[in-house]
Amino acid sequence: MADPARKTDPALPAEIADAMEAAGFPPEVPTLMEIIEDFARAKAEARTKAERVAELERSAEESWPLKAVVPLSVRYEDARRAAEAGRLGAIKIGGRWFCTKAEMARWVAAHGRGRPR
């Protein structure tokens, strides 16, 4: 039973207000909307990441060793670190990184990586 002295949004059903308070959120409609938006955003990001991983796995047959596709204007270490951080779509098999030529071109174009000349 809800405490009458408790400040809750009257638009929220009591069971939702109780659940929000139990989770540490203020029982208000704007807070609930923010939770829903955050969940939707996280779900979309997870779906995008899963699609990218699936694409990388599908293109594994087209992948080259990372050292073979890094342009001369880019340091291998920069590409390897980007692969480890997930900024460069590459897959690690054993101890070696593999990447498609298209993914390398996308990363170089997006990040403008290059050695100073």
Residue-number span of the structural domain to which 16 is assigned: 10-60
The answer to whether the CB of 56 falls within 8 A of the CB of 89 is: yes
In a shared domain, residues 22 and 46: yes
107, 89, 99, 108: CA torsion to nearest 10: 0
Q: What is the mean pLDDT of residues 37-66?
A: 84
Q: What is the mean pLDDT of residues 14-42?
A: 92
The answer to whether the CB of 91 falls within 8 A of the CB of 103 is: no
The pLDDT, as a whole number, for residue 82 is 95
Number of domains in the chain: 2
pLDDT at 114 over 60: no
The pLDDT, as a whole number, for residue 41 is 95
Kindly state whether residue 5 falls inside one of the protein's structural domains. no
Say if pTM beats, i.e. exceeds, 0.75. no
Question: In this structure, is the dihedral angle defined by the CA atoms of residues 36, 40, 46 and 50, taken in order, positive or negative?
Answer: positive
The answer to whether the CB of 91 falls within 8 A of the CB of 55 is: no
Q: Which two tokens stand for residue 10?
A: 């009257």
In a shared domain, residues 49 and 23: yes
CA distance 1 to 13: 12
In a shared domain, residues 67 and 53: no
Q: What is the mean pLDDT of residues 32-40?
A: 93
The pLDDT, as a whole number, for residue 93 is 85
